[in-house]
Chain A
Amino acid sequence: MKKLALAAALLAFVSPAEARTILFIGNSFTYGANSAVHYYKADTVTDLNGPAANGKTVGGVPAIFKAFTKEAGLDYTVSLETVGGKGLDYHVAEKRAVIDKPWDEVVMHGYSTMDQAHPGDPALLIASTKQIADLLRARNPNVKLHLLATWSRADQVYPANAPAVWKGKPVQQMGRDLMAGNLAAAQGANIADVIPLGLAWNRAIDTGVAGADPYAGVPAGKINLWTWDSYHASAYYLEALMDFGRVTGRDPQSLGDAETVADDLGFSRPQTHALQQIAHDELAAQGR
Chain B
Amino acid sequence: MKPGMLLGAGALLALSFAPASARTVLFLGSSFTYGAHSAAQHYHPELVKDLNGPDRNGETYAGVPAIFKQFTLEAGLNDYDVSSELVGGKGLEYWFTVPDTLARINKPWDVVVMHGFSTLDQAKPGDRTLLLSSSKQIAAMFLKANPNARLWLFATWGRADQVYPDNAPPVWKGKTPQQMGKDVQAAYEQAVKEEPRYAGIVPVGLAWNRAIDSGVADVNPYDGLDANKVDLWAYDHYHASSYGYYLEALMDFGKLTAHDPLELKGKDRVAEALGISPAQSTALMQVAHDTLAGSK
* CA A186 to CA B133, docked complex, whole Å: 69
| Contact present for B39 and A36 (CB under 8 Å) | yes
A217-238 interface with B by 8 A CB criterion? 217-222, 224, 227-229, 234
A-B CB contact pairs (8 Å), 27 listed: A36-B39, A36-B43, A36-B273, A36-B274, A37-B275, A38-B272, A38-B273, A215-B227, A217-B224, A217-B225, A217-B228, A217-B229, A218-B224, A218-B225, A219-B224, A220-B222, A221-B224, A227-B275, A228-B280, A229-B277, A263-B37, A264-B41, A266-B37, A266-B234, A266-B241, A268-B236, A271-B235
Q: Are B242 and A36 in contact (CB under 8 A)?
A: yes
Q: Chain A interface mostly helix, strand, loop or mixed?
A: loop
Query: Across the interface, do B39 and A266 meet the contact criterion of CB distance under 8 Å?
Result: yes
Q: Mask for A265-284, Cβ within 8 A of B = 1, else 0?
A: 11110010000000000000
Name which of A37, A222, A266 has the most chain B CB atoms within 10 A of its CB: A266
| A39 B241 Cβ-Cβ under 8 A | no
In the complex, the chain B residue whose C-beta lies closest to that of A236 is B275
User: How many residues in B have their beta carbons less than 8 Å from beta carbons of A?
Assistant: 28
Does B166 reach chain A (CB closer than 8 Å)?
no
- Point out the residue from A222, A264, A268 that lies within 8 Å of B224, measured CB to CB: A222
* Residues from chain A with Cβ under 8 Å of B41 in the complex: 264
Measured CB to CB, the residues of B under 8 A from A are 37-39, 41-43, 57, 222-229, 234-236, 241-242, 269, 272-277, 280
> How far is it, in angstroms, between the C-alpha of A234 and the C-alpha of B277 when the chains are bound?
12
Within 8 Å CB of B226, what residues of A? 217
- A49 contacts chain B at the CB level, 8 A cutoff: no
Q: For residue A40, which residues in chain B have a CB less than 8 angstroms away from its CB? A: 39, 42
* Residue of A40, A217, A268 most packed against chain B (CB within 10 A): A217
Query: What is the CB-to-nearest-CB distance from B42 to chain A, in angstroms, rounded to a whole number?
Result: 6
CB distance from B113 to the nearest CB of A (A): 23
Measured CA separation A36–B274 after assembly (Å): 4
**What is the CA–CA distance of A116 and B77 in the complex, to the nearest angstrom?**
43
A34 touches B273 (CB 8 A): no
Q: Which residue of A lies closest to B226 (CB)?
A: A217
Query: Which residues in B have their C-beta under 8 angstroms from that of A222?
Result: 224
Q: Which residues of A contact B236 (CB under 8 A)?
A: 268
Query: How far is B222's CA from A224's CA once the two chains are assembled, in angstroms?
Result: 15
Check A260 for interface membership: any CB of B closer than 8 A. Answer: yes
Q: Is the CB of A220 within 8 A of B275?
A: no
- Count residues of chain A with CB under 8 A from any CB of chain B: 30
Knowing A220-B222, A228-B280 touch, does A267 contact B235 (C-beta < 8 A)?
yes
Would you list which residues of chain A between 189 and 226 have a CB under 8 Å from chain B? 214-222, 224
Residue ID in chain A nearest B229 by CB atoms: A217
- The answer to whether B227 and A217 touch across the interface, beta carbons within 8 angstroms, is yes
Query: CA A80 – CA B273 in complex, angstroms?
Result: 19
Give the Cβ gap from A82 to chain B, nearest Cβ, in Å.
16
Point out the residues of chain B lying under 8 angstroms from A220, CB to CB. Answer: 222-224
User: How many angstroms between the C-alpha atoms of A219 and B224 in the bound complex?
Assistant: 4
| CB < 8 Å neighbour of A266 from B38, B223, B277, B280 | B38
In whole angstroms, how far apart are the Cα atoms of A234 and B242 in the complex? 13
Shortest C-beta distance, B234 to chain A (Å), equals 6
Chain A nearest Cβ from B34, distance in angstroms? 13
Residues in A neighbouring B275, C-beta threshold 8 A: 34-38, 227-228, 234
A268 in contact with B269 (CB, 8 Å): no
Nearest CB in chain A to that of B275: its residue: A35
Residues of A contacting B235 in the complex (Cβ-Cβ under 8 angstroms)? 266-268, 271
Minimum Cβ distance to chain A for residue B47 (Å) = 13
Chain A residue contacts of B234, Cβ below 8 A: 266
Contact indicator A39/B273 (Cβ below 8 Å): yes
Nearest 6 pairs between A and B by C-beta?
A36-B39, A268-B235, A35-B275, A218-B225, A220-B224, A217-B227
- Nearest B residue to A39 by beta-carbon distance? B273
Chain B residues with CB below 8 A from A54, complex form: 269
Check B242 against A266 for contact (C-beta < 8 Å).
Answer: yes
Query: Chain B's nearest CB lies how many Å from the CB of A257?
Result: 13
**Set of chain B residues within 8 Å of A265, measured between Cβ atoms:** 39
**CB-defined contacts of B280 to chain A, threshold 8 Å:** 228
Residue of B nearest to A218 (CB): B225
Q: With the chains together, A12 CA to B293 CA distance in Å?
A: 64
- The CA-CA distance from A220 to B222 in the complex, in Å, is 6
Q: A217 vs B220: C-alpha distance in the bound complex, in angstroms?
A: 13
Question: B228 to chain A: which residues have CB within 8 Å?
Answer: 217
Nearest CB in chain B: distance from A91 CB, A: 24
Report the bound CA distance from A218 to B227 in whole Å.
7
Residues of the A chain whose Cβ atoms lie less than 8 Å from the Cβ of B223: 220
Query: Across the interface, which residues of A come within 8 angstroms of B241, CB to CB?
Result: 266
Question: Cβ of A34 and Cβ of B222 under 8 Å apart?
Answer: no
Complex alpha-carbon distance, A11 and B228, angstroms: 54
CA gap between A227 and B277 in the complex, in Å: 9
Residues of A within 8 A of B43 (CB): 36
> Across the two chains, which residue of chain B brings its CB closest to A215?
B227
Please measure, in the bound complex, the distance between the C-alpha atom of A242 and the C-alpha atom of B154, giving whole angstroms. Answer: 42
A270 to chain B, nearest CB (A): 8
Contacts of A39 on B, CB cut-off 8 Å?
A: 273
Q: Judging by beta carbons under 8 Å apart, are B224 and A260 in contact?
A: no
Cα distance A228–B37 in the bound complex, in angstroms: 19
Find the B residue at minimum CB distance from A54: B269
Write out the residue numbers on chain B whose beta carbons fall within 8 Å of the beta carbon of A228: 275-277, 280
CA distance A54 to B269 in the complex (A): 9
